[in-house]
Amino acid sequence: MDSPNSYTMAWDGHTLELGQHTAIMGILNVTPDSFSDGGIFFSCDTAVAHGEKMAEDGADIIDIGGESTRPFSEAISADEEIRRVVPVIEKLVKRTSIPISIDTTKADVAIQAIEAGAAMINDISALRFDENMAAVAKKYNVPLILMHMLGTPRTMQNSPRYDDLISDIRLFLEKAIQTAKKNGVPRDRIIIDPGIGFGKTVHHNFQLIDNLDKFSILDVPICLGPSRKLFIRSTLKNKHETDIKPDSPSVETGTQAVIAASILKGAHILRVHDVANTKITAKIADAIKNSSNMS
């Protein structure tokens, strides 16, 4: 098995060595309605404490979002999003040295988050929802994650279809990379995310993971966020269950299986809820992945 491409991202006092070591991005949802942990970390102090815990557990990045992007979710205003995330970022940046990512599709939110101390942008719209986002990434010289999604969170799960799943998503991401570059974002600041669960069926998600190595041709780091997603829950539930609780032990075990497979297929960054468990999985998967390079 070939090792994935290796990359070094260094900026503003932060360094990510991506390749031999899989980076873990801890999810911090400052929302009342996210699918897995909505409302749990909605207060500023609770969110900051959880962010500190994820850093202690070994997170390489903390990804903070103030707007739920679960299927069929409704958008909120930039002002409300800023109100939710900025106080958390301001406090958390004083308590951890790892980079904080702002999960937003709005340039105004990204600006306020970066001014508060955030050091990355995670744009699930891949620059489609706000034409000013690339300019923000350029101005502040921060890494930018570009994710594939069909439509919007409200519409993405309405019978998603593709002519060719891998080719279609790869072409979408290639165009997103070109758009970012044309707007001044250097290639060494770009990360892609094929968008597990964002406009995909259960089968599509498993196909994506099995073919993740086919995105390496784009020659940028690959981020993936499979944690607790519906495709895992749907596969694990019995025929009498409509769903399984996202934070149940069986879903976490299933998530770790997907994480291990994703690392072996070339993922550089894994966006997860349970950092401690993922740290263990990644350590073993990285050892397997790197074994052919050992003398």
Q: Where are the domains of the chain?
A: 7-293
Mean pLDDT of 118-137: 97
Name the band, by pLDDT with cuts 50, 70 and 90, for residue 42: low
Give the span between the Cα atoms of 208 and 186, in whole angstroms.
Answer: 26
- How far is C-alpha 282 from the geometric centre of its chain's CA atoms? 16
Give the span between the Cα atoms of 148 and 265, in whole angstroms.
Answer: 18
pLDDT tens track for 177-201: 999 999 999 999 999 999 999 999 9
Give the span between the Cα atoms of 214 and 218, in whole angstroms.
Answer: 9
pLDDT tens track for 238-289: 988 888 999 999 999 999 999 999 999 999 999 999 999 999 999 999 999 9
Give the span between the Cα atoms of 248 and 194, in whole angstroms.
Answer: 25
3-state secondary structure of 122: strand
In angstroms, the first-to-last Cα distance of the chain is: 16
Mean pLDDT of 149-167: 86
- How far is C-alpha 153 from the geometric centre of its chain's CA atoms? 15
Please give the residue that has the higher pLDDT: either 72 or 123.
123
Whether the pLDDT of residue 4 is over 70: the answer is no
In CATH, the number for domain 7-293 is 3.20.20.20
**107-116 vs 78-92: helix crossing angle, rounded to 10:** 20
Residues 6+ apart with CB under 8 A from 17: 6, 8
State yes or no: is 271 an active-site residue: yes
Whether the pLDDT of residue 2 is over 50: the answer is no
Which pair of tokens denotes residue 221?
Answer: 């780091």
Q: Which residue blocks in 211-248 are alpha helix, DSSP H?
A: 230-236
Give the span between the Cα atoms of 212 and 104, in whole angstroms.
Answer: 24
When computed from its CA atoms, the radius of gyration of the chain, rounded to whole angstroms, is: 18
pLDDT tens track for 77-93: 999 999 999 999 999 99
Give the span between the Cα atoms of 23 and 16, in whole angstroms.
Answer: 8
Chain mean pLDDT for the chain: 92
Whether the pLDDT of residue 156 is over 80: the answer is no
Give the span between the Cα atoms of 137 and 117, in whole angstroms.
Answer: 14
Active-site choice (70, 84, 229, 233): 229
pLDDT tens track for 196-239: 999 999 999 999 999 999 999 999 999 999 999 999 999 999 98
What's the confidence (pLDDT) of residue 151?
78
Residues 6+ apart with CB under 8 A from 35: 68, 70, 71, 228, 230, 246
What's the confidence (pLDDT) of residue 43?
84
3-state secondary structure of 270: strand
